[in-house]
Amino acid sequence: METWLIAVGIVVGILLGYPMEILVERVPGRESLSPPWIVCAQCGTGNNSLWSLTPLGIVHHLRECGNCGASRAYPFRPLIMAAVTAVVFAGNVVRFGAHADLAAYDLLAVGLIVLSVIDLERMIVPVLVFYPTLFSFSALVIASSLLDNRLSHFWVAIIAGVVCFLIFLAIHIIVPQGMGFGDVRLAGLLGIATGWISAQVVLVGFVVAFGLGAFIGILLMLVKNYGSKSRLPFAPFLVAGTFVALMWGIPIARVWLHFHY
């Protein structure tokens, strides 16, 4: 295992924390991504220095506005995203090593984490993040399949993506209030991502996602008196299931399905 590459992944993950915060904050409202990047929601005071895109920006976000003293709406959000991204990048190095797949799955991780946070807070899966993630990840996967002559993996990934999209589309049509179309699109992308490993890993990812969703839903009904008609953002569960499947899907499939990779 390349220890130095794990260290690089952790550092890069931390560096992406505040740029991801900008996407989470501005993309849902279709706001400009241009500076100033740190802006107080109360008085509008902004900071457009480049240091605000570094981990110093994450630290600054924890503080109150120096002009009006207002607190940030989500002060720990960039810190949490930086930590999660660093952990996922390190996991990707362990899973894929110094391989062309690593760049594809690191890029995918950034997009999925941003989409999860936005869906968790605003109940939407914005196309302005989804489609760039889909197209860039697909392009890198195609390049990897051509470089390593793994076209069979590519076709399994495409078929898995189409099947997952159609299954979720059917759920959306039958129960539109329970499954948004953003989740349908996302299911197609995640089918491609897990299908690139194997068809069995696709199944593991979605079983874990639905299991987590059901568990949290029941827990919220017990603790917070969630009604049966209350909607729960599903993208975070889909993404969590995908990360679990990518890391441990093969050994899980061996146990569940007696699958040999």
Domain boundary among 45, 72, 98: 98
Q: Are residues 23 and 111 in the same domain?
A: no
Cα distances (angstroms) measured from residue 123 to each of 50, 152, 171: 31, 36, 18
**Span 127-150, pLDDT tens digits:** 999 999 999 999 999 888 888 888
Q: Are residues 27 and 144 in the same domain?
A: no
Q: Are residues 218 and 111 in the same domain?
A: yes
Q: Are residues 143 and 73 in the same domain?
A: no
Q: Are residues 116 and 228 in the same domain?
A: yes
Q: Are residues 107 and 50 in the same domain?
A: no
Query: Domain span at residue 66?
Result: 1-98
Q: Are residues 47 and 146 in the same domain?
A: no
Domain boundary among 78, 98, 118: 98
**Span 22-63, pLDDT tens digits:** 999 999 989 888 888 778 777 777 777 777 778 878 887 887
Q: Are residues 83 and 5 in the same domain?
A: yes
Domain boundary among 49, 78, 98: 98
Contact between residue 27 and residue 129 where contact means Cβ atoms under 8 Å apart: yes
**Span 87-109, pLDDT tens digits:** 999 999 999 988 889 999 999 99
pTM (2 d.p.) = 0.92
Q: How far apart are CA 190 and CA 235, in angstroms?
A: 10
Q: Are residues 92 and 216 in the same domain?
A: no
Q: Are residues 108 and 209 in the same domain?
A: yes
Number of domains in the chain: 2
Q: Are residues 219 and 107 in the same domain?
A: yes
Cα distances (angstroms) measured from residue 51 to each of 19, 56, 64, 217: 11, 6, 18, 40
Q: Are residues 90 and 168 in the same domain?
A: no
